[in-house]
Structure 1
Amino acid sequence: MNEELAAALKPWPKVPACYGWLSLDRRGHWRLQGERIEHAGLIAFLNAHYHADEAGNWLVDNGPQRVYVRLEYLPWVVRLRPDGSLLTHTGQTTVARAPVLVDQDGCIVLDTAVGPALLHDLDLADFVAALCDETGQPVSEAALLALFEGETRQAILWRDLPLQPVRSAELPARFGFQPDPSP
């Protein structure tokens, strides 16, 4: 065995996990100690190594070190694409499943194939324009406001998926994630 291969096979040193430094904001931007990360290479690295552990903590593996991510809202942020698909903040294409949740502030929560996702706020107008009732008719503003307040006076659909009210405080338990991991 050559020296290079032997060095590659050595176990990683024990390094402490990192908490409180890395976060994901409501627009899917990575932040380091509150400052938005702009470096394309670092963003690509974070996107490629982002995942959840068995306890519902979201993190990035940095070699042997686990860097836990504080979530401003949800583990994923998605954008609506012109073809109707959803694109995550990490660049993955995903699909939504029923139900679509609307919190008390009008935030749209999608249960996607990759996990719970917040719809990017720049896509809210297109989202609302696609809402309809069971007969395919546009939804009234009053019906939407009632949904924000937790009432369901009539069925509201987005891409044939029903909308349901939810309180944002319920989301971590509902989807099994830790918004602010700690040791």
Structure 2
Amino acid sequence: MRHNARMDDIVKQAMAKWPQVPACYGWLGLDARGRWYLRDEATQAAGPFPQSRGALITHEKLIAFIHRNYEPDEAGQWFFQNGPQRVFVELESAPLVWRVEDDFSVVAHTGRSATVRECVLDESGRLYLACDLETGQTLSADSEKWAAAPHSQPALPKSGRPPSFGIVHSLDILQAAQAVELGLWTPQELRQAELPARYGYVLSPLARHLGQTQACTTP
């Protein structure tokens, strides 16, 4: 099985050694500014993310570790591969948060540079970008399945990589507006509720998991 080329070797080794470790749901959240939150049982019981956020992660090495081992499965559920265990991520807005540089280049909150393919504006004025991430990345087997699966989005680029969708960081809206004014990006208007299906991501893997579990146990 192939994985994200940035994934730590120790993580790959743990996955090979313990391939049947159950996945974890609801314990990690990503907000619209690219910040990570740990969500214990009490936090989860208090409500869904982001209404009940949890503890903000500030440890720089832990954040970097999460970033290197963060990718989607075949259903568009994004997860952090923590050793042999997948920790699925609850999303406030989108799986990635884009920072816009002075030259209008784009970098994900994970540190990976990207090339803009599409620009989207929702009904609340939030701006999103669908991008091709930097080259030199190897798709995991699940990401390859995602790329081959039918979605309502435009065709994939020749690289075969699925587009990476994210929201523009609120601190960079003025810079993004300049890119639009200069004609570098042309926003298309879509409702926020349409975005997960169109761009193939799941906001709440926990809710999806619970729904599937209930469906399986209903007589």
TM-score normalised over the length of structure 2: 0.64
CA drift at 1:10: 7.6
Deviating above 3 A after TM superposition, structure 1's stretches of 4 or more consecutive aligned residues are 7-10
Flag the 1:126–1:66 CA change in 2: closer, same or farther, 3 A.
same
Output the CA distance in 2 between the equivalents of 1:13 and 1:94: 32
**TM alignment of 1:144-163, pairs within 5 A:** 157=183, 159=184, 161-163=185-187
Classify 1:23/1:41 alpha carbon distance in 2 versus 1 (closer, same or farther; 3 Å).
Answer: same
* Count of paired positions: 151
Pair 1:17 & 2:23 matched: yes
2:194 maps to: 170
CA distance in 2, matches of 1:36, 1:86: 25
Please state how far the C-alpha of 1:61 moved relative to its aligned partner.
0.7
Deviations 1:43-95 (A, max 9, x none): 01100000001111100111111100011110110111123210110001111
Partner residue in 2 for 1:123: 172
Residue 121 of structure 1 aligns with an amino acid whose one-letter code is: S
Please tell me whether the aligned partners of residues 70 and 81 of structure 2 are also in contact (alpha carbons under 8 angstroms): yes
For structure 1, list consecutive stretches of 5 or more residues without a partner in the other structure. 1-6, 137-156
TM-align CA RMSD? 2.0
CA distance in 1, matches of 2:38, 2:89: 10
Q: Secondary structure of the equivalent of 1:131?
A: helix
- The one-letter amino acid of 1:173's match is A
Residues 1-183 of structure 1 correspond to what in structure 2 (within 5 A)? 11-12=17-18, 14-33=20-39, 34-98=54-118, 100-114=119-133, 115-132=164-181, 157=183, 159=184, 161-182=185-206, 183=209
Whose strand proportion is higher, 1 or 2?
1
Amino acid at match of 1:168: Q
Question: What 5-or-longer segments of structure 2 have no aligned partner?
Answer: 1-12, 40-53, 134-163, 210-219
Higher relative contact order (CA 8 A, sep 6+): 2
Q: 1:107 corresponds to which letter in structure 2?
A: R
Normalization by structure 1: what TM-score? 0.76
> 2:35 and 2:115 mapped to 1: Cα distance?
21
Percent of aligned pairs sharing the same letter: 43
Quick check: which has more Rg, 1 or 2?
A: 1
Higher helix fraction: Structure 1 or Structure 2? Answer: 2
The 1:18/1:10 distance shift into structure 2, 3 A limit, reads closer
